[in-house]
Amino acid sequence: MSQRTRQLLLNLLRIGISAIILSYILSQTGLQRLGEALRNADPWPYVGALMLGLLGVVVRAWRWKVLLDAVNLRVKFTRLMYLYFVGAFYNSFLPTGFGGDVVRVLEFGPNTDRAVVTGTTIVDRLTGFVMLFMLALAALPFSTQYLPPEIIWAVAAAGAGVLLATALLFEGKLLRALTRFLPAPLSLSGEGWLARTFDSISRGGRAGLWRALGVSLLFNLVLLTAALLISQALQLNVSPAALFVFVPIATASLLLPISISGLGVREGLYIALFAQVGVGDAKAIAFSLAYYSLDLFAGIVGGLLYLFASAGNLRPEKSE
């Protein structure tokens, strides 16, 4: 069986898993109740959330530029915005939430070291996750009245694990020492592609990393504000502290490449989480789908940009 055939079968499996989980959840909740929750929603806060979703893509492009500048790769900001919107399109319609990152690297342009571009893309993603979990950890002390102890401890453990893993990644020396005896393609030391990619992760230095984390703080605050607007649109009686914990947990489901963009898995998580604060299944699913629609809307904008890129002269040479 060829690699392409195996990948096709794996993607079909992920589609099937999403379909099965969503079908089960909707059968238990009822389409009528879900439709009622959506019909009763206030559209204006939701429109505001959509606009914030687009702003979030622009902020992430700014974060990527900060990291690229730190490794002396000068690229026009408009080009990076274009690539990020195109990446959003692929993230929305590929089986994992990371396909767009691969497209960003491949579309970056000629005459660049893809190992370096890959490294900045990884750091770009990591700083977003780190800051998201830092905000979740900061919100935990204010969530004790809404969440049971097991969820609080699980979030604390997950957040601490993310911070520890990230610290090891940026420190680098320990991981290089542990892998130096492996074959060149798998070693983080030497001149192999993986080693060069790993080296580029720390090449930007602490100053570049701190600036990227600052932009990540702004990005996550933008999206968490969008989540608050969606909860307002759906008339959910949920505190901001609870949402600051729920959203990172559900976002982490994208790390599991078992479904299409987390569909099904994310909805099940939101049902379980919102149940802790007295929100019913229908409104929990409505929130999940509305929040996912922010990415979908940005992906549609990215698809249109990709379609008409030649007319806007966005795809030629990228460097300043």
Q: Residue 230, Cβ neighbours under 10 Å: how many? A: 26
pLDDT, one tens digit per residue, over 197-252 is: 777 777 767 778 889 999 999 999 999 999 999 999 999 988 888 888 888 878 77
Give the pLDDT score at 152: 79
pLDDT, one tens digit per residue, over 21-58 is: 778 787 778 788 888 888 889 999 999 999 999 999 99
Average pLDDT over residues 66-76: 88
Closest by CA position to 231, among listed 272, 185, 283: 283
**Residue 132 neighbours by CB under 8 Å, 6+ apart:** 216, 220, 247, 248, 251
* Alpha-carbon gap, residue 107 to 90, rounded angstroms: 12
Q: Indicate whether this model's pTM tops 0.75.
A: yes
| Helix 240-251 / helix 281-307 crossing angle, nearest 10 deg | 60
Query: What is the number of residues in the chain?
Result: 320
Burial class (CB in 10 A: 0-12, 13-18, 19+), 181: exposed
